[in-house]
Amino acid sequence: MAVQVTELVDGIFFACSMNHCLPEVKSFWNLLNIWAQITRNGSNHIASDSKLASFERWFPHNNIERPIRIPFRKIMENYRRESINSLQPPPFPRRIFHFEAEKIAELKAKVNSEEEDGVISNKISSLQAILAQVWRSVIKNQNLDPEEEVTYRFLVAARSRISHPPIPDNYFGITVRFATVTMKVRDLVGDGGRGRFALEMNNMVTSYTEERIKRDFEAGVQIPTMRSLRSRIGKIMGTSSSPRVNFYAIDFGWGRPVAVRGGPANAKSWKLMVDAGIEEGSLGIELSASCELLEALGKEPEFKHAVAPPSLRWLPAELSNKVARTRL
Protein backbone atom coordinates (compact mmCIF):
# COMPACT_ATOMS: atom_id res chain seq x y z
CA MET A 1 0.00 0.00 0.00
CA ALA A 2 1.28 3.48 -0.86
CA VAL A 3 -0.07 6.88 0.16
CA GLN A 4 0.90 10.30 -1.11
CA VAL A 5 -0.42 13.64 0.13
CA THR A 6 0.24 16.69 -2.06
CA GLU A 7 -0.44 20.17 -0.73
CA LEU A 8 -1.88 22.43 -3.41
CA VAL A 9 -2.40 26.20 -3.37
CA ASP A 10 -6.10 25.79 -2.57
CA GLY A 11 -6.43 22.28 -1.18
CA ILE A 12 -4.97 18.83 -0.62
CA PHE A 13 -4.62 15.99 -3.12
CA PHE A 14 -4.79 12.62 -1.38
CA ALA A 15 -3.54 9.64 -3.42
CA CYS A 16 -3.77 6.05 -2.25
CA SER A 17 -2.74 2.91 -4.11
CA MET A 18 -3.08 -0.73 -3.12
CA ASN A 19 -2.38 -4.03 -4.84
CA HIS A 20 -5.74 -5.13 -6.28
CA CYS A 21 -4.95 -8.75 -5.43
CA LEU A 22 -5.70 -7.82 -1.81
CA PRO A 23 -8.99 -5.87 -1.76
CA GLU A 24 -11.88 -5.10 -4.06
CA VAL A 25 -13.35 -1.60 -4.17
CA LYS A 26 -15.78 -2.14 -1.28
CA SER A 27 -13.01 -3.34 1.06
CA PHE A 28 -10.86 -0.41 -0.03
CA TRP A 29 -13.71 2.03 0.58
CA ASN A 30 -14.36 0.59 4.06
CA LEU A 31 -10.67 0.98 4.90
CA LEU A 32 -10.59 4.64 3.82
CA ASN A 33 -13.84 5.34 5.68
CA ILE A 34 -12.45 4.01 8.97
CA TRP A 35 -9.19 5.86 8.39
CA ALA A 36 -11.12 9.10 7.81
CA GLN A 37 -13.09 8.60 11.05
CA ILE A 38 -9.87 8.11 13.02
CA THR A 39 -8.38 11.22 11.40
CA ARG A 40 -11.42 13.30 12.33
CA ASN A 41 -12.18 11.96 15.79
CA GLY A 42 -9.34 9.74 17.01
CA SER A 43 -9.21 5.97 17.35
CA ASN A 44 -11.45 5.99 20.44
CA HIS A 45 -14.40 7.50 18.58
CA ILE A 46 -15.06 5.06 15.74
CA ALA A 47 -18.77 4.78 14.93
CA SER A 48 -20.44 1.63 16.29
CA ASP A 49 -21.71 0.66 12.82
CA SER A 50 -18.28 1.03 11.19
CA LYS A 51 -16.98 -2.03 9.40
CA LEU A 52 -13.55 -2.77 10.85
CA ALA A 53 -11.78 -5.06 8.41
CA SER A 54 -11.99 -8.82 8.92
CA PHE A 55 -8.88 -10.62 7.63
CA GLU A 56 -10.22 -14.12 8.24
CA ARG A 57 -10.14 -15.95 4.90
CA TRP A 58 -13.39 -17.24 3.39
CA PHE A 59 -13.71 -20.64 1.68
CA PRO A 60 -16.88 -22.32 0.36
CA HIS A 61 -16.14 -25.43 2.47
CA ASN A 62 -13.42 -27.00 4.58
CA ASN A 63 -12.37 -29.59 1.98
CA ILE A 64 -10.15 -27.17 0.05
CA GLU A 65 -6.50 -27.92 0.74
CA ARG A 66 -4.60 -24.98 2.16
CA PRO A 67 -2.36 -23.21 1.50
CA ILE A 68 -3.41 -22.98 -2.15
CA ARG A 69 -0.50 -23.71 -4.48
CA ILE A 70 -0.29 -21.31 -7.41
CA PRO A 71 2.05 -22.29 -10.31
CA PHE A 72 3.42 -18.77 -10.83
CA ARG A 73 6.23 -19.85 -13.17
CA LYS A 74 3.86 -21.59 -15.61
CA ILE A 75 1.33 -18.76 -15.43
CA MET A 76 3.96 -16.08 -16.07
CA GLU A 77 5.45 -18.01 -18.99
CA ASN A 78 2.04 -18.15 -20.66
CA TYR A 79 1.42 -14.48 -19.84
CA ARG A 80 4.74 -13.37 -21.37
CA ARG A 81 4.07 -15.45 -24.48
CA GLU A 82 0.66 -13.82 -24.93
CA SER A 83 2.12 -10.36 -24.26
CA ILE A 84 4.77 -10.73 -26.98
CA ASN A 85 2.04 -11.42 -29.54
CA SER A 86 -0.28 -8.69 -28.30
CA LEU A 87 -0.54 -4.99 -28.94
CA GLN A 88 1.53 -2.97 -26.49
CA PRO A 89 -0.37 0.31 -26.24
CA PRO A 90 0.94 3.50 -24.70
CA PRO A 91 -1.02 4.98 -21.77
CA PHE A 92 -4.38 6.23 -23.08
CA PRO A 93 -5.84 9.66 -22.34
CA ARG A 94 -9.01 9.90 -20.29
CA ARG A 95 -12.20 11.90 -20.31
CA ILE A 96 -14.72 12.32 -17.51
CA PHE A 97 -18.46 12.29 -18.18
CA HIS A 98 -21.21 13.10 -15.68
CA PHE A 99 -24.70 11.59 -15.68
CA GLU A 100 -27.33 13.49 -13.68
CA ALA A 101 -30.13 11.67 -11.84
CA GLU A 102 -32.83 12.98 -14.18
CA LYS A 103 -30.96 11.90 -17.31
CA ILE A 104 -30.19 8.49 -15.76
CA ALA A 105 -33.91 7.88 -15.12
CA GLU A 106 -34.73 8.90 -18.70
CA LEU A 107 -32.08 6.60 -20.16
CA LYS A 108 -33.17 3.70 -17.94
CA ALA A 109 -36.76 4.03 -19.17
CA LYS A 110 -35.63 4.10 -22.81
CA VAL A 111 -33.41 1.03 -22.47
CA ASN A 112 -36.10 -0.94 -20.64
CA SER A 113 -38.61 -0.11 -23.39
CA GLU A 114 -36.14 -1.27 -26.07
CA GLU A 115 -35.57 -4.67 -24.51
CA GLU A 116 -39.28 -5.49 -24.15
CA ASP A 117 -40.69 -4.27 -27.48
CA GLY A 118 -42.18 -1.10 -26.05
CA VAL A 119 -43.19 -2.46 -22.64
CA ILE A 120 -41.15 -1.13 -19.72
CA SER A 121 -40.19 -4.14 -17.60
CA ASN A 122 -37.71 -2.46 -15.21
CA LYS A 123 -35.40 -5.45 -15.48
CA ILE A 124 -32.56 -3.17 -16.47
CA SER A 125 -30.87 -1.17 -13.71
CA SER A 126 -29.66 2.41 -14.04
CA LEU A 127 -26.04 1.27 -14.16
CA GLN A 128 -26.73 -1.36 -16.83
CA ALA A 129 -28.53 1.26 -18.94
CA ILE A 130 -25.56 3.66 -18.72
CA LEU A 131 -23.01 0.97 -19.53
CA ALA A 132 -25.13 -0.09 -22.52
CA GLN A 133 -25.18 3.48 -23.82
CA VAL A 134 -21.44 4.00 -23.35
CA TRP A 135 -20.45 0.67 -24.91
CA ARG A 136 -22.80 1.16 -27.88
CA SER A 137 -21.34 4.63 -28.49
CA VAL A 138 -17.76 3.37 -28.18
CA ILE A 139 -18.32 0.67 -30.81
CA LYS A 140 -20.46 2.92 -33.03
CA ASN A 141 -17.63 5.45 -33.39
CA GLN A 142 -14.96 2.99 -34.53
CA ASN A 143 -16.39 1.97 -37.93
CA LEU A 144 -15.84 -1.74 -37.26
CA ASP A 145 -17.01 -4.57 -39.51
CA PRO A 146 -20.69 -5.25 -38.62
CA GLU A 147 -19.94 -8.99 -38.41
CA GLU A 148 -17.10 -8.59 -35.93
CA GLU A 149 -17.61 -9.62 -32.32
CA VAL A 150 -16.93 -7.21 -29.47
CA THR A 151 -16.73 -8.07 -25.78
CA TYR A 152 -17.64 -6.12 -22.68
CA ARG A 153 -16.14 -7.28 -19.39
CA PHE A 154 -17.60 -6.42 -16.00
CA LEU A 155 -17.68 -7.60 -12.40
CA VAL A 156 -20.46 -9.32 -10.48
CA ALA A 157 -20.60 -8.84 -6.71
CA ALA A 158 -20.60 -12.25 -5.05
CA ARG A 159 -20.61 -11.08 -1.42
CA SER A 160 -24.39 -10.69 -1.18
CA ARG A 161 -25.09 -13.89 -3.17
CA ILE A 162 -23.40 -16.30 -0.77
CA SER A 163 -25.22 -17.55 2.32
CA HIS A 164 -23.58 -20.91 3.21
CA PRO A 165 -21.20 -19.92 4.68
CA PRO A 166 -21.91 -16.18 4.39
CA ILE A 167 -19.20 -13.68 3.47
CA PRO A 168 -19.00 -11.00 6.20
CA ASP A 169 -19.83 -7.49 5.05
CA ASN A 170 -16.47 -6.32 6.43
CA TYR A 171 -14.50 -9.07 4.67
CA PHE A 172 -11.21 -7.61 3.44
CA GLY A 173 -10.56 -9.38 0.16
CA ILE A 174 -11.78 -10.13 -3.34
CA THR A 175 -15.34 -11.43 -3.70
CA VAL A 176 -16.22 -10.22 -7.20
CA ARG A 177 -16.44 -12.52 -10.23
CA PHE A 178 -15.55 -11.70 -13.83
CA ALA A 179 -18.34 -11.78 -16.43
CA THR A 180 -18.46 -10.95 -20.14
CA VAL A 181 -21.03 -10.19 -22.82
CA THR A 182 -20.00 -10.77 -26.44
CA MET A 183 -22.10 -9.50 -29.35
CA LYS A 184 -21.74 -8.79 -33.03
CA VAL A 185 -21.25 -5.13 -33.88
CA ARG A 186 -24.45 -4.99 -35.95
CA ASP A 187 -26.54 -6.27 -33.02
CA LEU A 188 -25.10 -3.66 -30.68
CA VAL A 189 -25.23 -0.56 -32.89
CA GLY A 190 -28.49 -1.43 -34.67
CA ASP A 191 -32.02 -0.55 -33.58
CA GLY A 192 -32.67 -1.73 -30.02
CA GLY A 193 -28.98 -2.44 -29.48
CA ARG A 194 -28.80 -0.78 -26.09
CA GLY A 195 -31.68 -2.82 -24.73
CA ARG A 196 -30.33 -6.03 -26.27
CA PHE A 197 -26.94 -5.56 -24.67
CA ALA A 198 -28.37 -4.47 -21.30
CA LEU A 199 -30.63 -7.53 -21.19
CA GLU A 200 -27.65 -9.82 -21.95
CA MET A 201 -25.77 -8.16 -19.10
CA ASN A 202 -28.76 -8.49 -16.78
CA ASN A 203 -29.13 -12.19 -17.61
CA MET A 204 -25.42 -12.75 -17.04
CA VAL A 205 -25.59 -11.12 -13.60
CA THR A 206 -28.66 -13.21 -12.69
CA SER A 207 -26.85 -16.41 -13.74
CA TYR A 208 -24.30 -15.96 -10.96
CA THR A 209 -26.06 -18.05 -8.36
CA GLU A 210 -24.42 -19.25 -5.15
CA GLU A 211 -23.82 -22.66 -6.73
CA ARG A 212 -22.12 -21.18 -9.78
CA ILE A 213 -19.92 -18.85 -7.74
CA LYS A 214 -18.73 -21.71 -5.53
CA ARG A 215 -18.14 -23.91 -8.57
CA ASP A 216 -16.09 -21.20 -10.29
CA PHE A 217 -14.12 -20.60 -7.08
CA GLU A 218 -13.18 -24.27 -6.80
CA ALA A 219 -12.23 -24.46 -10.49
CA GLY A 220 -9.99 -21.41 -10.05
CA VAL A 221 -8.24 -23.09 -7.12
CA GLN A 222 -7.58 -26.22 -9.16
CA ILE A 223 -6.40 -24.43 -12.32
CA PRO A 224 -5.23 -20.86 -11.54
CA THR A 225 -5.09 -18.60 -14.61
CA MET A 226 -4.05 -15.06 -15.55
CA ARG A 227 -5.94 -13.14 -18.23
CA SER A 228 -4.37 -11.03 -20.97
CA LEU A 229 -6.75 -8.79 -22.95
CA ARG A 230 -4.35 -6.32 -24.55
CA SER A 231 -4.48 -7.88 -28.02
CA ARG A 232 -8.02 -6.62 -28.69
CA ILE A 233 -7.78 -2.94 -27.84
CA GLY A 234 -10.90 -1.23 -29.16
CA LYS A 235 -12.94 -4.42 -29.40
CA ILE A 236 -12.96 -5.17 -25.71
CA MET A 237 -13.53 -2.94 -22.71
CA GLY A 238 -13.80 -3.53 -18.98
CA THR A 239 -15.49 -1.75 -16.08
CA SER A 240 -13.95 -1.05 -12.70
CA SER A 241 -15.04 0.52 -9.41
CA SER A 242 -18.71 0.73 -8.37
CA PRO A 243 -21.33 3.43 -7.75
CA ARG A 244 -22.43 1.47 -4.66
CA VAL A 245 -19.47 2.89 -2.74
CA ASN A 246 -19.46 6.67 -2.53
CA PHE A 247 -15.93 8.07 -2.30
CA TYR A 248 -17.35 11.59 -2.15
CA ALA A 249 -18.74 10.79 1.32
CA ILE A 250 -15.26 10.20 2.78
CA ASP A 251 -14.16 13.17 4.90
CA PHE A 252 -10.75 13.22 6.59
CA GLY A 253 -11.66 16.44 8.35
CA TRP A 254 -10.67 18.72 5.47
CA GLY A 255 -14.11 18.72 3.84
CA ARG A 256 -15.65 16.32 1.33
CA PRO A 257 -13.73 15.56 -1.89
CA VAL A 258 -14.40 17.70 -4.95
CA ALA A 259 -13.19 15.07 -7.43
CA VAL A 260 -12.55 11.33 -7.64
CA ARG A 261 -10.06 10.10 -10.25
CA GLY A 262 -8.59 6.74 -11.19
CA GLY A 263 -4.91 5.86 -11.19
CA PRO A 264 -2.45 5.33 -14.05
CA ALA A 265 -3.16 1.58 -14.23
CA ASN A 266 -6.57 2.39 -15.72
CA ALA A 267 -4.90 4.09 -18.70
CA LYS A 268 -3.08 0.96 -19.90
CA SER A 269 -6.12 -0.37 -21.74
CA TRP A 270 -9.54 0.82 -22.89
CA LYS A 271 -11.39 0.98 -19.62
CA LEU A 272 -14.43 2.54 -17.99
CA MET A 273 -14.40 3.48 -14.29
CA VAL A 274 -17.80 4.28 -12.79
CA ASP A 275 -18.37 5.91 -9.41
CA ALA A 276 -21.13 7.66 -7.52
CA GLY A 277 -21.29 11.31 -8.56
CA ILE A 278 -20.82 14.32 -6.35
CA GLU A 279 -24.56 15.15 -6.54
CA GLU A 280 -27.00 12.66 -4.99
CA GLY A 281 -28.26 10.14 -7.53
CA SER A 282 -25.68 11.07 -10.16
CA LEU A 283 -22.88 8.97 -11.62
CA GLY A 284 -19.42 9.81 -12.88
CA ILE A 285 -17.64 7.88 -15.61
CA GLU A 286 -13.93 8.06 -16.37
CA LEU A 287 -13.24 6.60 -19.80
CA SER A 288 -9.77 5.62 -21.03
CA ALA A 289 -9.51 5.24 -24.81
CA SER A 290 -7.91 6.79 -27.88
CA CYS A 291 -7.98 10.57 -28.38
CA GLU A 292 -10.03 10.10 -31.55
CA LEU A 293 -12.73 8.11 -29.77
CA LEU A 294 -12.96 10.46 -26.78
CA GLU A 295 -13.40 13.42 -29.12
CA ALA A 296 -16.01 11.55 -31.17
CA LEU A 297 -18.06 10.67 -28.07
CA GLY A 298 -18.18 14.32 -27.08
CA LYS A 299 -19.81 15.15 -30.41
CA GLU A 300 -22.22 12.25 -30.86
CA PRO A 301 -25.86 13.44 -30.44
CA GLU A 302 -27.19 10.26 -28.76
CA PHE A 303 -24.36 10.18 -26.24
CA LYS A 304 -24.37 13.94 -25.62
CA HIS A 305 -28.08 13.83 -24.81
CA ALA A 306 -27.44 11.39 -21.94
CA VAL A 307 -24.42 13.22 -20.51
CA ALA A 308 -24.59 16.32 -18.32
CA PRO A 309 -22.97 19.39 -19.93
CA PRO A 310 -20.23 20.39 -19.81
CA SER A 311 -18.12 17.23 -19.71
CA LEU A 312 -14.52 17.71 -18.66
CA ARG A 313 -11.86 17.79 -21.33
CA TRP A 314 -9.85 14.64 -21.78
CA LEU A 315 -6.60 14.22 -19.88
CA PRO A 316 -3.60 13.65 -22.18
CA ALA A 317 -1.67 10.46 -21.47
CA GLU A 318 1.41 12.38 -20.32
CA LEU A 319 -0.69 14.10 -17.64
CA SER A 320 -2.64 11.01 -16.55
CA ASN A 321 0.17 9.70 -14.35
CA LYS A 322 0.63 13.10 -12.71
CA VAL A 323 -2.86 14.53 -12.42
CA ALA A 324 -5.02 11.44 -11.94
CA ARG A 325 -2.75 9.38 -9.77
CA THR A 326 -5.17 7.23 -7.76
CA ARG A 327 -8.59 6.96 -6.19
CA LEU A 328 -9.01 10.20 -4.22
Strand residues in 158-257 grouped as ranges (E): 176-184, 236-240
Q: Which residues are catalytic?
A: 20, 251
The rounded distance, in Å, linking the Cα atoms of 274 and 136 is 16
For residues 148 and 303, the answer to whether their CB atoms sit within 8 Å is no
Name beta bridge partners: 238: 153, 271
Contacts of residue 12, defined as CB under 8 A and 6 or more positions apart, other chains included, come to 5, 6, 254
Contacts of residue 328, defined as CB under 8 A and 6 or more positions apart, other chains included, come to 14, 15, 16, 32, 247, 250, 257, 260
Report in angstroms the alpha-carbon separations of 92 from 152, 319, 325. 18, 10, 14
Contacts of residue 258, defined as CB under 8 A and 6 or more positions apart, other chains included, come to 11, 278
Nearest 10 degrees: Cα torsion 167, 246, 28, 168? -10
DSSP letter, residue 1 = -
